[in-house]
C-alpha cells in the first residue's frame, strides 16, 4: 500500500452520502466503480476478496489498476482458495495483500485451546477476520466488497455506497444487484480465475472447518457455520 494523506471522517462521510444520492439503487457495477475513480485515488482504495472468484477485483482493476486486494489469511482456508489467491495475484492488475491475524493458528490454540472455531465460531471470526481487516483498513479511505443482495435475507437491502461507521471509511458494494449466476457468467466470459470449489457444491466459501457443501436449491450460505445460529462472520454487520 502506498502511503497517502487521508481525508477526515467528516469529509469522507459527506462524499459517501453524495455518492449514495447520485447513484441509482440499481446502478451498474461499472458506474459505481467509475464514481469511485472520480472521487478517490487508487492508493486510498482497497478490495476485500474471499477468493471464491475474481470478478470484483477484475472489475475494479479495469478502472483502478494496481488496486490493493486484501485477502484475509485466517490460516484455515481450503488449498483451492490459496491457489485462487495466487492466480489472482499473477493474472490481474492488482496488488494482493495477505491480511494476517495477530496470532498464528498454533499460537491461538495455545492461548485459547484447540479448535476455537468449533467451540466459539464468533470469537474465532472476530480474531482471525474482523480484527485483522479493521486494522488493515485504517490505511484507506474506501473499501470494496463483493456483498450481493441475493445472498441472504440479511443482505437484501445492501446499499451500493455507504459510510462504514465501524471501520471509519466509505464502503462500496458494486455487485450488490448481481445474482450468483451473473457472477459465474461474467467470470466464464472473461476467463477469470475462479475457485474450483464453486462447481463442487460450495456456492459460498469460507474457512474449511466451517464450510460445508450445499444441497442443490438450498440457501447458498447454508453451508457456512452449518448447525449453528451463526450466519455472518461479522465483517458486514
Q: Which of the residues 49, 125, 207, 233 is marked catalytic? A: 233
Burial zone of 195 (CB within 10 Å; 0-12 exposed, 13-18 middle, 19+ buried): buried
The SS3 assignment for 4 reads coil
From CA 73, how far away is CA 100, in angstroms rounded? 5
Nearest Cα to 75, choosing from 35, 38, 40, 104? 104
As given in the structure block, the three cell numbers for residue 200 are 463442487
CA torsion, ordered 66, 96, 144, 82, to nearest 10 deg: 150
In the chain, which ranges are continuous DSSP H helix?
A: 9-22, 29-39, 55-63, 79-91, 105-112, 116-119, 121-125, 131-137, 180-189
Nearest Cα to 29, choosing from 140, 142, 141, 146? 146
Q: Is 233 a catalytic residue?
A: yes
Q: Quick check: 212 and 219 in contact, CB under 8 A?
A: no
Which residues are tagged catalytic? 233
Amino acid at each position: 500500500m502506498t502511503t497517502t494523506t487521508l481525508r477526515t471522517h467528516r469529509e469522507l462521510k459527506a462524499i459517501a452520502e453524495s455518492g449514495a444520492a447520485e447513484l441509482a439503487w440499481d446502478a451498474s457495477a461499472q458506474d459505481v466503480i467509475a464514481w469511485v475513480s472520480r472521487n478517490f485515488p487508487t492508493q486510498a482504495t482497497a478490495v476485500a476478496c474471499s477468493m471464491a472468484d475474481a470478478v470484483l477485483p477484475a472489475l475494479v482493476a479495469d478502472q483502478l489498476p494496481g488496486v490493493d486486494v486484501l485477502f484475509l489469511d485466517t490460516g484455515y482456508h481450503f488449498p483451492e482458495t490459496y491457489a485462487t489467491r495466487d492466480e489472482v495475484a499473477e493474472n490481474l492488475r492488482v496488488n494482493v495483500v495477505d491480511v494476517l491475524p495477530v496470532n498464528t493458528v498454533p499460537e491461538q490454540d495455545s492461548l485459547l485451546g484447540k479448535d476455537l472455531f468449533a467451540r466459539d465460531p464468533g470469537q474465532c471470526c472476530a480474531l482471525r477476520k474482523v480484527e485483522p481487516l479493521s486494522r488493515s483498513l485504517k490505511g484507506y479511505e474506501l473499501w470494496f466488497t463483493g456483498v450481493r443482495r441475493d445472498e441472504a435475507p440479511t443482505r437484501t437491502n445492501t446499499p451500493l455506497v455507504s459510510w462504514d461507521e465501524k471501520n471509519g471509511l466509505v464502503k462500496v458494494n458494486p455487485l450488490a444487484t448481481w445474482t450468483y449466476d451473473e457472477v459465474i457468467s461474467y467470470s466464464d466470459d472473461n476467463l477469470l480465475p475462479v475457485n474450483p470449489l464453486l462447481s463442487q457444491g460450495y456456492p459460498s466459501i469460507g474457512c474449511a472447518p466451517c464450510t460445508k457443501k450445499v444441497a442443490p436449491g438450498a440457501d447458498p450460505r447454508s453451508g457456512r457455520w452449518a448447525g449453528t445460529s451463526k450466519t455472518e462472520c461479522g465483517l458486514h454487520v
